[in-house]
Amino acid sequence: MLTRKPGAPLGRREALGLAGTALAGSSLPRLAGAQGRMAPITIVINQSPWLDSFARIVQAYERESGNRVELDVNPFAGSLEKQRNSVRAARGTTDILIMNSGWFAEMYFGGFVQPITDIEPSYRLDSGIYTLGDTVFFDAASKTMTPRGKLMSMPIAPLIPLTYYRADLYRDAGIGGPPRTFEDLEANAKRLNRPPRMMGMVQRGARGPHSVAYDFLPYIYGHGGGFFRDHNNGDFTVTLNAPEGRTALDYYIRLAREAGHPRTAAMDQADVIQVFATGRAAHMITVIAAWSQMDDRERSAVVDRVEWAPPPSLPGKPTAPGLGHWLAGISRNVPDDRQRAALAFLKWFGTTPSQIAFARGGGIPVHEAAYRDAMAEEHRFRWMKPMSEALPHSVNPYTFPEASEVIAVLELGLNRAIAGEITSVAALNGMSNEIADIMAKHGYRTGRLEPLR
């Protein structure tokens, strides 16, 4: 566990990156300062590609408000465990919970998050803030994420995957335009595949807390499939092993074998990003949080050579990137003064000036105004237009607190299929049966399709 305390010196790269935020400092909102000195707060957060940008905006808030914020930084799984321990204690040690798409429902359903509108009944989320599939709301009576419920959290990182592709290789090969369809991506990846020097595609296949299952989302949804028949309305009939699911998984495996990394089944997110950033792959579909690394001359061999596009889909179907987003909820079991201090920070973070400063510091903004700002025309921020195009089509299949159990099944099954240990048919049928059993065990309306053959 790494804990970064307020006022601690930054490393050289962080100090350099703060320059963009500092330039915008004079225009940052003074909400917190106007409210006076508030209790210090602690935010538990995961180690991630977007951590440094969040640390910068926190420091900007500290300078602006005079209030103290401590970031308690942990690995992905460690962050969840720390949050679980804190919210179940008699008195929480963490004020703001940075919750991933895979576990925020657990925190809502468990009653561990204090609704923002209970802390300040008059507060309304700015209409320009993305609600990310309405996952910032929760109606406890119907157990659904809907604006009819209470405002539970503030979006922190609207993370979705985009297609990263080598524009210079496209130009050299005479390929026009980004890959919009799966057929485009496969054809372009095979055309640019020159192993071992250059791979046409690099994909994630390793099993983890939410690894290969997350990267598979734009493939299955982009092929018109999904995990459940209608989870938003309570129908959890498992549809993973529908024909669309088989087409998607066969495509994922074929792309890896015919134009991808020879060890795809062992590749995790950091490995995928490293291969691409060192100039050894022509494409990757990876979370947008890695964008700043591509033009970092200290870490990238592909500076100014990368462009972005929404993930591909079948012709006539919209792009369907999976939400791997992060939400900030306020812990219910901390004192009132710390809840109010936590809300002061979240309100400040959600304002347009803070969001523009956040983006300039390397973050992924949650306010649509940042994507309409003049900076979106700058070469450095060329990812912003594809991001704003894809974000409204993002999907979130995990609207129930037992999501981690389902994700564990997906992680193992997909990894084994990609590794060639089992066929795609066996993987999809096996995962579907296990997921249906999980949903039935927890009392959901569920069922299963006829097995693939």
Band of residue 11 on the pLDDT scale cut at 50, 70, 90: very low
Contact 193, 200 (CB under 8 A): yes
Task: Summarize pLDDT for 182-201 with one digit per residue, the tens.
Answer: 999 999 999 999 999 999 99
Give pLDDT, residue 37. 86
pLDDT cut 90: percent of the chain above it: 84
- Asked if the model's pLDDT at residue 50 lies above 90, the reply is no
Band of residue 21 on the pLDDT scale cut at 50, 70, 90: very low
Task: Summarize pLDDT for 75-85 with one digit per residue, the tens.
Answer: 988 999 999 99
Give pLDDT, residue 27. 54
Find the helix or strand (DSSP H, E) in which 182 lies: helix 182-192
pTM of the predicted structure, to 2 decimals: 0.88
- Asked if the model's pLDDT at residue 255 lies above 70, the reply is yes
> Which residues touch 432 (CB under 8 Å, ≥6 apart)?
238, 240, 241, 448, 449, 451
Task: Summarize pLDDT for 357-387 with one digit per residue, the tens.
Answer: 999 988 999 999 999 999 999 999 999 999 9
Q: Tell me the CA distances in angstroms from 287 to 40, 177, 222, 300, 430, one per residue in order.
A: 32, 21, 16, 17, 28
3-state DSSP call for residue 8?
Answer: coil
Give pLDDT, residue 30. 53
Summarize the confidence of residues 399-418 as an average pLDDT.
95
Summarize the confidence of residues 54-70 as an average pLDDT.
95
Contact 239, 271 (CB under 8 A): no
Give pLDDT, residue 265. 98
Give pLDDT, residue 23. 38
Give pLDDT, residue 5. 40
Give pLDDT, residue 49. 78
Give pLDDT, residue 172. 98
> Which residues touch 267 (CB under 8 Å, ≥6 apart)?
202, 203, 204, 205, 206, 261, 275
Task: Summarize pLDDT for 137-183 with one digit per residue, the tens.
Answer: 999 998 889 999 999 999 999 999 999 999 999 999 999 999 999 99
> Which residues touch 309 (CB under 8 Å, ≥6 apart)?
162, 163, 165, 178, 179, 180, 386
- Asked if the model's pLDDT at residue 12 lies above 80, the reply is no
User: Token digits for 372?
Assistant: 């309409």
Give pLDDT, residue 28. 57
Phi, psi of 180, deg, nearest 5: -95, -25
3-state DSSP call for residue 213?
Answer: helix
Mean pLDDT of the chain: 91
Summarize the confidence of residues 28-34 as an average pLDDT.
48
Give pLDDT, residue 115. 98
Contact 107, 113 (CB under 8 A): yes
CA–CA distance, 348 with 32 (Å, rounded to integer): 7
User: Token digits for 281?
Assistant: 């792959």
3-state DSSP call for residue 142?
Answer: coil
User: Token digits for 237?
Assistant: 């009939």
**Domains parsed from the chain with CATH numbers:** 2-158+324-382 (3.40.190.10), 161-322+397-448 (3.40.190.10)
Summarize the confidence of residues 293-312 as an average pLDDT.
96
User: Burial code of 328-358, b = ≥16 C-beta within 10 A, e = fewer?
Assistant: bbbbbbbeeebbbbbbbbbbbbbbbbbbbbb
